[in-house]
Amino acid sequence: MPHFDFDLFVIGGGSGGVRAARMAAQRGARVAVAECAALGGTCVNVGCIPKKLYSYAAGYAEAFEEAPGYGWTLPEAPRFDWNTLKRQRAQEIKRLNGVYQGLLDGAGVQLIPAWAQLIDGHTVEAGGQRHTARHILVATGGMPFVPEIAGREHALVSDQMFDLPEFPRRLVVVGAGYIACEFASIFRGLGAQVTQLVRKPHVLDAFDADVRQFLAQEMGKHGVDLRLNTQPERLQRTDGGIAVTLTHGQQVQADTVLFATGRRPNTAGMGLEAAGVALDRNGAVVVDAQYRSSVPSVLAVGDVSTRMPLTPVALAEAMVVVDQLFGDGRRRMDYEFVPTAVFTHPNIGTCGHTEAAARAHFGQVRIFRSEFRPLRHTLSGRSERTFMKLIVDAKTDRVVGLHMVGADAGEIVQGFAVAMRAGATKADFDSTIGIHPTAAEEFVTMR
């Protein structure tokens, strides 16, 4: 039997890579992780965590606006300090980087702080040295994608938005996905004038049609200038900032332009194809049901592969890989009814099928919708509304889609996702006593 330096060599120190490394090490495997940037990957450093912290910051502006309706008189107009928020965020991210380092150290994983390249199915070069491994796991995540538009060098990507030297008074966001909508909402809440350019007739292409339409209305009420069927043709640096010329010949002036136009798997320059690892047309590692690539000893999880690009999904996939390589191999990953949230203002929470997907998959479905003004805003003076929707398979009565736009949507939908995974029917929902008065009770009182 050939001798290898490691049983598992992980390329990438993000959520999926660190989870796989430490769990494999805890099972007695000799494990190394190569990571040339801060530990924690996109989620910790430039994704989920800082984005939600900034979303919380934006929420305080809403709370200040609502306070007089509840009898509070603020002694002076609230002032936002961008540098304080940046400093506080940086401290928290540094703490989390240390947590990840501690997890690896505690499990006995060797960290190699270097860029890694595949030489062949069992060899990795990192930090000027070659290392052999019985198994290699690619978990390098994704990178922002910027289309070929004249003047694109004047734009930023989402990774750069958390640490801007100056807070932008005028922000143009290009994109229709959840990252674009989140940053548009956040910076509008923090006080920027925000214009969002969407080339399609709607935002959030993969979401339920009612959800995306309702969110667009609410974002507009919050002050986001949402321009559908519009895209930039060129960007030019001027004395007054950046001039964005649109497809209709109009111009928008900005201090900062954010291209949130999608992400691509981070596989460039890693030697994957030269080592025989098949990639799809977007550069993602093509994997089978056990996350093995076309080279059996090379596996991939998370955003770098061809599955669902969500942090909790990467963590779950990592556990399947570890169980397959160093356990009994019985653990499986089920991609049905994976809940997710979008931290716009208001939030989105969703689980299961959209209405269109449910009709295509199940045939006959029953739809339940509810839209209402939350109790909080009966005194706040704000016009924000909440939207909820249930999609039920008519043949089995099972709830196969659950969607919400409103405050704390992610917190609410997480619990319902458990019920949906367990096969809850509409009758189960109807027979459940609601907690009154809450927004969540609407899901068990829809008729």
Residue spans of the domains in the chain: they are: 6-144+264-326, 152-261, 340-444
Q: What is the pLDDT of residue 418?
A: 98
Separation of alpha carbons 172 and 198, rounded Å: 11
Q: What is the pLDDT of residue 41?
A: 96
- pLDDT tier at 307, thresholds 50, 70, 90: confident
Query: CA angle, 374 as apex, 371 and 379 as ends, to 5°?
Result: 140
In degrees to the nearest 10, what's the CA dihedral of 65, 66, 67, 70?
Answer: 150
* DSSP conformation class of 351: E
**Is 436 an active-site residue?**
yes
Q: Of the residues 135, 248, 377, 436, which is catalytic? A: 436
- Read off the tokens for 94: 């540094």
- Amino acid at site 391: I
Do 6-144+264-326 and 340-444 fold alike per CATH? Answer: no
The answer, yes or no, to whether residue 62 has pLDDT greater than 80, is yes
- The CATH superfamily label for domain 152-261 reads FAD/NAD(P)-binding domain (3.50.50.60)
The answer, yes or no, to whether residue 202 has pLDDT greater than 90, is yes
Instruction: Report the percent of the chain where pLDDT is more than 90.
Output: 96
At 6-44, the pLDDT tens digits run: 999 999 999 999 999 999 999 999 999 999 999 999 999
In degrees to the nearest 10, what's the CA dihedral of 201, 202, 205, 207?
Answer: -150
At 203-253, the pLDDT tens digits run: 999 999 999 999 999 999 999 999 999 999 999 999 989 999 998 889 999
The answer, yes or no, to whether residue 306 has pLDDT greater than 80, is no
At 239-291, the pLDDT tens digits run: 989 999 998 889 999 999 999 999 999 999 999 999 999 999 999 999 999 99
Residues 340-444, CATH architecture: 2-Layer Sandwich (3.30)
Instruction: Report the percent of the chain where pLDDT is more than 70.
Output: 100
Q: What is the pLDDT of residue 248?
A: 83
Q: What's the farthest any 2 CA atoms get from each other in the chain?
A: 76
The answer, yes or no, to whether residue 1 has pLDDT greater than 80, is no
The answer, yes or no, to whether residue 94 has pLDDT greater than 90, is yes
Neighbours of 396 (CB within 10 A): 12
- CATH level 3 topology of 6-144+264-326: FAD/NAD(P)-binding domain (3.50.50)
pTM above 0.85, yes or no: yes
